Amino acid sequence: MKARLNTANRLIIVAVLCVIAATTIYPLIFMLINSFKIQSEYILGPLLFPKQISLTNYKIMYSSYKIVRLFNNSLVIVSCSIFFEIFLCSLAAYAFAKAKFKGKGYLFLFFISMMIIPFQVLMLPLYIMFARLNLINTKLALIIIYTATLIPFALYFLTTNFRTIPDEIIESAKIDGASYFRIYWSIILPIGRSAMITLFILDFVWLWNELVLALIFLQSDETKTITAGVATILGRYSSNQPLMLTGLLLSSLPTIIIYTVVAKYLMKGITVGAVKG
Amino acid sequence: MSTLDTKHFKGYRDKLNITLSILPITVLTIFIMVYPLISVFYHGFTNWNISGTTFIGLGNYSNLLKSGKLTLLFRNNLIMLLAIPVQILFSLLVAYLLYEELWGWKQFRILFYLPAVLSSVVIGYLFRTFFALNGPLNDLLRLLKLKLLVVNWLSRGSTAFIVVIIAMIWSQFGMAVLIFLAGMSNIETYVLEGAVVDGANWWQRFFRIVLPMIVGTIEFYMIVLIIIFFTASFGFIYSITSGGPGYSTTTLEYMIYLKAFKSNLLGQSSALATILFLIVLILVIFTFKVFKKLGDWQ
């Protein structure tokens, strides 16, 4: 079936694919070229290349918009959440995959059924709860909530992965006198590493870009994440488009870089994990 | 899949260890997911503010109905759903083009997924900039002497919706392409080769063979998309239209936010949240039904 097409048709297909690819690449180029322009030059022609490169926007982002602090907040919140998520879920997934206890099936179903709750449903009661605990505008609040919302998928993902670890390895470790947690540390974690890396990448992109919860729980500029910061601070002053585009570009850099590095690896993972049918 | 036999991890110490392993996520899930869910159900029937609650039965629901808000929200959500056929057809065609495995298809696949790693805020603001009255798109249209098409995109509900929908499709289509490609990779090569021998052309192969053979994948992804359009539009609406003009692009999910954090109508917000949860629940149950049907069929 493949490549039964004549050259003309092949060229047409590749051309169509190129056009579509241009639409996904162009916005990045658009942000990049305009980030070097000042407002007056942008108005003259947003689609043109800058006549001279100006770093004004970057300087403003650094000095007035405290872009470093926003980055820092995002990094702390995202990495802490993912650390707790992977630590707690790998521990639980180990029990679900390799131990036997009463009510295991029901408990597992309970956790993965949480996947269907959209968090917009939960945000108001959570807000009231954290307001009573005086935790609004703290990174801790967001870390706790992010960790919890990541649990269902992570538990499901890691449990299915840990199940493929052969029982014989664990059995022989037991015979050698390894304790329950010793087996977790020296067998489960090393073998499950690639699953945990995949999880880390998916969750990093997801949390870095998360908006609703960050918007609600971090209202002061000091604690905002970069995504919420860009949404609110730049939204307020969006009449300066090149400055806004600079902010958008800077906020997307981490995920774009990670994606470029792991794209091939991720493609495999997504395709393998996808549906059968 | 082999679950381990009873020999393992019996005895008191291991029972303790197992409990210690599972307890943290159980506590977190109960406090952060289960309790708020129950709270939302309950408060949907109350007049709720920081100082306290009064039970008002179905008051919130009837208020939402009477004021016409609920109808408006459903209308807006239904308009959003119109994007789904467009999204599916477009992604299917792109997947079919990649399926030929022509020059550079692996690189194209990577490029098409790129928008999915950008945040909805970035995509939203980009689209807002692009579709602004004096933005690049209108400039381009003026340049091409297509003055008729130059409109103030974001000033009217209908065109603003188009911008939101295009932004969402653009951000999602890479994922759709990957899923459809995975579905197509399950088609046996000899089926298509036979069709070529029988003289079926490219379009015929697409409509008569590829499409029917991945109908299960399409069904599955369609329900995923419905859930996405019901629950993942917030960032796009927030950054492109803020729900306006008026409430013309406000969806159910965005209204939950507005009611709770802009107008302080916590009870009504809870009622809307309950409705959203029930819609998603029904869709998920429906998905499982589809899957079961597929299982029977295979």
Q: How confident is the model at residue B142 (pLDDT cuts 50, 70, 90)?
A: confident
| Partner-chain contact A13 B270, CB within 8 Å | no
User: Among partner residues A89, A125, A276, which is closest to B186 by beta-carbon distance?
Assistant: A276
Total CB pairs under 8 A between chain A and B = 303
Chain A interface includes B261 (CB < 8 A): yes
User: In CATH, what number is assigned to the domain containing residue B180?
Assistant: 1.10.3720.10
| Segments making up each domain of chain A, as ranges | 7-54, 66-236
Q: How confident is the model at residue B259 (pLDDT cuts 50, 70, 90)?
A: confident
Predicted confidence (pLDDT) per residue in B89-118, tens digit: 999 999 998 888 788 888 888 899 999 999
Whether residue B127 sits in one domain with residue B229: yes
CATH of domain A66-236: 1.10.3720.10
Q: How confident is the model at residue B50 (pLDDT cuts 50, 70, 90)?
A: low
User: Max alpha carbon distance in chain A (Å)?
Assistant: 76
pLDDT score of B134: 78
Please state the rounded mean pLDDT for residues B129-148.
82
Whether residue B90 sits in one domain with residue B36: no
Whether residue B91 sits in one domain with residue B22: no
Whether residue B140 sits in one domain with residue B212: yes
Residue B275 lies in a domain: no
Please state the rounded mean pLDDT for residues B4-11.
49
- The CA distance from B119 to B258, in Å, is 21
Chain B interface includes A220 (CB < 8 A): no
Q: Calculate how close chain A gets to B17, using CA atoms only, in Å.
A: 7
Whether residue B19 sits in one domain with residue B156: no
Whether residue B102 sits in one domain with residue B31: no
Whether residue B234 sits in one domain with residue B93: yes
pLDDT score of B1: 40
Q: Name residues of chain A where pLDDT drops below 70.
A: 1-4, 235-238, 269-277
Residue B280 lies in a domain: no
Q: How confident is the model at residue B66 (pLDDT cuts 50, 70, 90)?
A: confident
Torsion, Cα B11 B16 B22 B26, to 10 degrees, reads: 130
pLDDT score of A214: 92
pLDDT score of A200: 92
Predicted confidence (pLDDT) per residue in B143-197, tens digit: 887 777 778 888 888 889 899 999 999 998 988 998 898 888 888 888 888 888 8
Q: Which of B209, B232, B250 is the last residue of a domain?
A: B250
| Residue B24 pLDDT > 80 | yes
Chain B interface includes A259 (CB < 8 A): yes
Predicted confidence (pLDDT) per residue in B271-292, tens digit: 999 999 999 898 888 877 776 6
pLDDT score of B296: 56
Whether residue B232 sits in one domain with residue B114: yes
Residues of A whose CB is below 8 A from B37: 117, 121-122, 125
Whether residue B87 sits in one domain with residue B34: no
Report the b/e string of A168-189 with b at 16+ CB within 10 A: eebeeebeeebebeebbeebbb
pLDDT score of A269: 61
- The CA distance from A38 to A56, in Å, is 7
DSSP string, chain A: -TT-S-HHHHHHHHHHHHHHHHHHHHHHHHHHHHHTS-HHHHHH-TTSPPSS---HHHHHHHHTS-HHHHHHHHHHHHHHHHHHHHHHHHHHHHHHHH---TTHHHHHHHHHHGGG--HHHHHHHHHHHHHHTT-TT-HHHHHHHHHHHHHHHHHHHHHHHHHTS-HHHHHHHHHTT--HHHHIIIIIHHHTHHHHHHHHHHHHHHHHH--HHHHHH--STTT--HHHHIIIIIHHTTTSHHHHHHHHHHHHHHHHHHHHHHHHHHHHHHHHHS---
Residues of B whose CB is below 8 A from A167: 2, 4-5, 8
Which is more confident, B193 or B252? B252
Answer yes or no: is the ipTM higher than 0.95: no
User: Among partner residues A5, A125, A230, which is closest to B202 by beta-carbon distance?
Assistant: A5
User: Among partner residues A3, A100, A241, which is closest to B8 by beta-carbon distance?
Assistant: A100
User: Among partner residues B40, B179, B234, which is closest to A121 by beta-carbon distance?
Assistant: B40
Mean pLDDT of chain B: 84
Residue B72 lies in a domain: no
Whether residue B190 sits in one domain with residue B123: yes
Range of the domain at B141: 82-250
Predicted confidence (pLDDT) per residue in B190-241, tens digit: 888 888 888 778 888 888 888 888 888 888 888 888 888 888 889 899 988 8
Residue B4 lies in a domain: no
> What's the domain count of chain B?
2
Name B53's bridge partners: B48
